[in-house]
Amino acid sequence: MSANMNTSDITQKRTKRLVKNIVASFVVKGWSAVVVLLMVPLTLKCLGIYQNGVWLTISSLLVWIDQMDIGLGNGLRNRLAMHQAHGESVEARQTVSSTIFMLVCIIIPVFMLLSVLVWYGDIYGFLNVEAAKIPELRTTLLCAVTLVCMTFVLKFIGNVYMGMQLPAISNGIMATGQTLAMIATWILFITDRASFTNVVIANVAAPLIIYFISYPITFYVKFPQLRPTWESINIRTALQLGNTGVKFFWLQIASIIQFMTANILISKFFTPEMVTPYQIAYRYMSIVLVFFTVICTPIWNATTDAYERNDLAWIRKASKKLGMLSMLVFVMLTAMTIVSPWVYRVWIGDSCHVPFDMTLLMAIYIFLMTLSMRYSYFLNGIGALRLQIYMTVTAVIFIPLAWYASQTTHNIIWFMIVMCLCNLPGIIVNIIQFNKILNRKATGVWKK
């Protein structure tokens, strides 16, 4: 009887913590979405369509650096959740210390390599940028790479909060960085100092400043028991993190190839100007993605906790609620697509035209992303990554298919159709595997 009561108390505590983080995340993510929307017309006014398109393309390149952690961030959040479930405080500190040690070891050679490529490589040719329009591109990109590499190490702080099942705080850190970037960009605009270099540096330096401030608060005030130390670095723990992290890394790379490289490919296959309307459509429709992610993010590590305690009933219940939420997402995207012409007129005026078919396809793509997340976040929490990794083959064929569609039709709409089609196989497999695992029928490749 006592054991049953204890299990019930744990379940209630997990659910209460989940709800509390979702509510807090809605507030934080809601503000974050407002900032992202405000930044679109602001940066357009600062840079114009061409330079803004180049900046958006560069930001996609910088995402690659962010994902070079070979999945250590996601591995950290999973292992922290596991250690918390089993009350392993020493192991938790070793995990945090070993993670930051490996991040430093990874980023130093990456920074050196990227610095050489930026300074001596044909950056203008690679990005299809006219040197006369942005003569300072090389210097700007080198500064951005330097700042992002520093952020690369400190951003693990967010994963610590994720692992401790406090995603609202992690979201708050990111939202604060975005807010600081907006304020800095606005100041540059009103002081007439909004050059391409200044706007880029303002956007990449802001998150780094916030992470610097967050470090002592996190490890000297909030979680001193997790504070990284040299003595806590454990090679065996680092190798285990690397083993788990590599699996997440492949999934991250697949995600980057299928979307984050889109800006680069559009700039290369079409023109930098075309990146701007594409990104406007994405940022408009991604409001729904933010809404859905707020729900899914805390479910990831709550699932890890539930699975470690063999509480499959809780996972089933949470899954049903996400299923109903997916239907709401469909309705929201449909409504947003219908009113999009009016929204664009109010939001960005006549500074940029976004075709209706581009908005429609972006809505379809976002809905497919939410369907994928609806199952993959549960699978990630359980640790069922192998089959998801196999399905990253769709990312490998995305670029040649996108190139063929672009060269054959010279129409960005077909480029976006390829993006949607490449997501379908993974969604189908995720649905099948999730149901097999929950019904205890997973065998062979369907196991975690």
Q: Is 320 exposed, middle or buried (0-12, 13-18, 19+ CB in 10 A)?
A: exposed
**CA-wise closest residue to 382 among 304, 316, 291:** 304
- 251 phi/psi in degrees, rounded to 5: -65, -40
Task: Summarize the confidence of residues 230-252 as an average pLDDT.
Answer: 65
Tell me the pLDDT band of 3, cut-offs 50, 70 and 90: very low
* Both structure tokens of 227: 């504070």
**Residue 444 DSSP class:** G
427-440 burial, b at 16+ Cβ within 10 Å, e below that, comes to bebbeebbeebbee
Chain centroid to CA 210: 18
CA distance 226 to 214: 14
Query: Per residue in 136-145, pLDDT tens?
Result: 889 999 999 9
Task: Summarize the confidence of residues 336-363 as an average pLDDT.
Answer: 90
Q: Is 124 exposed, middle or buried (0-12, 13-18, 19+ CB in 10 A)?
A: middle
Higher-pLDDT residue of 344 and 236 is 344
Tokens 């083993």, residue located: 243
The DSSP-derived string for 267-294 is HHHS-HHHHHHHHHHHHHHHHHHHHHHH
Task: Summarize the confidence of residues 433-444 as an average pLDDT.
Answer: 80
Enumerate the domain spans of the chain: 2-443
Tokens 């009561």, residue located: 5
Query: Per residue in 148-163, pLDDT tens?
Result: 889 988 888 888 887 7
Is 0.85 topped by the overall pTM? no
Tell me the pLDDT band of 225, cut-offs 50, 70 and 90: confident
Query: Per residue in 373-390, pLDDT tens?
Result: 888 877 877 777 777 777
Task: Summarize the confidence of residues 38-59 as an average pLDDT.
Answer: 86
* Both structure tokens of 391: 């399905």
CA distance 315 to 435: 11
Check pLDDT > 60 for residue 244.
no
Q: Please state, in angstroms and as integers, the Cα–Cα distance from residue 408 to each residue in 412, 418, 420, following that order.
A: 11, 13, 18
CA-based end-to-end distance of the chain: 32
Query: Per residue in 267-320, pLDDT tens?
Result: 788 887 888 888 889 889 988 887 787 777 777 667 777 777 777 788 888 888
Tell me the pLDDT band of 88, cut-offs 50, 70 and 90: confident
Angle in degrees, CA 154, 156, 157, rounded to 5:
80
Q: How many helices and strands, by DSSP H and E, does the chain display?
A: 17, 0
**Residue 351 DSSP class:** S
CA distance 186 to 199: 9
